[in-house]
């Protein structure tokens, strides 16, 4: 093939234009690529954050899921939940003296509140902070509000630090609060069963006690739940753990619902 000088110049110019165009296209492509990489990085970053959030949600849900505690049909029901001790009244202590009963009781009541908040039950808490309240005041609150049920939450301890006593106890009195819908004894048995079923602590016993103020002076079915022994190392570490506290709260929640359902059935029957 033959070309004139003019023709060669034309080819050179054309080649130059082509080359410049190529460089521009390649620059644009590189810029676009790096932009999309950045987007990808950003997405990854978000993805990680999202994943972390999802994980923490999963961890939380493993101990507490709102959906497990939806219960309705109790609009006219009032339940008093009493966290034992508080303020200057510390209650029992763990053997190593590090843990106080008043704190464990409150921690469980706060978890129980998360569960009862999902229902339409009118719940009255005698305390939701570290506050001293007399036993009399606790019963006056329950009686004034004409509560249907009264539940006092405690942890046990043996005076003898060598004692191997462990497990859940529920306490009731026979002479007050019994009514045709629910006896104190039945209420205490229900709580013993449901707390055992939900927790790793074993059921120890259901005990009749006529000498305890809150059981003696409440006008409605009343129970004291001793959730475990602070003097027992295994019970103590369970009571003090998030899982243990959620499990026990779950058992108390189920005991309340079961009792209310029984009461409602009896009421319908007349
Ligand atoms: Zn106590």
Is the separation of the CB atoms in 167 and 235 below 8 Å?
yes
C-alpha 120/C-alpha 72 separation (Å) is 6
CA of 83 to the centre of ligand 1 (A): 9
Q: Tell how far the Cα of 259 is from the centroid of ligand 1, in angstroms.
A: 23
More confident residue, 8 or 27: 8
Residue 194: predicted pLDDT: 98
CB count, 10 Å around CB of 20?
10
C-alpha 70 – ligand 1 centre gap (Å): 30
With tokens 């190392």, the residue in question is 233
- What is the token pair recorded at 93? 């202590």
CA of 77 to the centre of ligand 1 (A): 26
Which has more confidence, 27 or 101?
A: 101
pLDDT score recorded for residue 32? 59
**Stated pTM of the model:** 0.77
Find the mean pLDDT for residues 31-43.
50
* Residues with CB in 5 Å of ion ligand 1: 84, 91, 154
24 alpha carbon to ligand 1 midpoint, in Å? 81
- Calculate the alpha carbon distances from 3 to 7, 8, 9, 12, 152 in Å: 6, 6, 10, 12, 107
Nearest to 172 by CA among 186, 154, 153, 158: 186
Among candidates 112, 146, 149, which has minimal Cα distance to 127? 112
State the distance from the centre of ligand 1 to the C-alpha of 80, rounded, in angstroms.
17
Strand order in the sheet with 78-83: 122-125, 78-83, 149-156, 222-229, 168-172, 203-208
């Amino acid at each position: 093939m033959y070309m004139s000088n003019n023709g060669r110049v034309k080819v050179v110019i054309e080649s130059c234009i082509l080359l410049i165009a190529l460089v521009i296209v390649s620059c644009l492509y590189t810029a676009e690529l790096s932009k999309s990489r950045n987007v990808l990085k950003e997405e990854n970053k978000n993805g990680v954050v999202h994943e972390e959030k999802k994980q923490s949600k999963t961890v939380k849900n493993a101990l507490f899921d709102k959906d497990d505690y939806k219960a309705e049909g109790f609009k006219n029901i009032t339940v008093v939940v009493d966290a034992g001790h508080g303020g200057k009244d510390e209650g029992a202590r763990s053997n190593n003296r590090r843990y106080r009963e008043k704190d464990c009781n409150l921690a469980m009541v706060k978890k129980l509140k998360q569960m009862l908040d999902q229902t339409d039950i009118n719940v009255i808490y005698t305390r939701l902070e570290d506050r001293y309240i007399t036993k009399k005041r606790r019963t006056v609150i329950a009686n004034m509000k004409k509560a249907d049920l009264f539940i006092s939450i405690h942890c046990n301890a043996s005076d003898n630090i060598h004692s191997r006593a462990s497990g859940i106890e529920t306490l009731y009195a026979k002479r007050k609060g019994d009514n045709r819908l629910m006896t104190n004894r039945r209420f205490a048995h229900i709580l013993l069963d449901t707390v055992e079923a939900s927790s790793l602590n074993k059921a120890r016993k259901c005990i009749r006690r006529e000498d305890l103020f809150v059981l003696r002076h409440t006008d409605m079915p009343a129970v004291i739940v001793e959730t475990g022994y602070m003097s027992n190392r295994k019970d103590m570490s369970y009571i003090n753990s998030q899982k243990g506290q959620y499990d026990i709260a779950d058992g108390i929640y189920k005991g309340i619902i079961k009792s209310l359902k029984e009461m409602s059935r009896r009421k319908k029957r007349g």
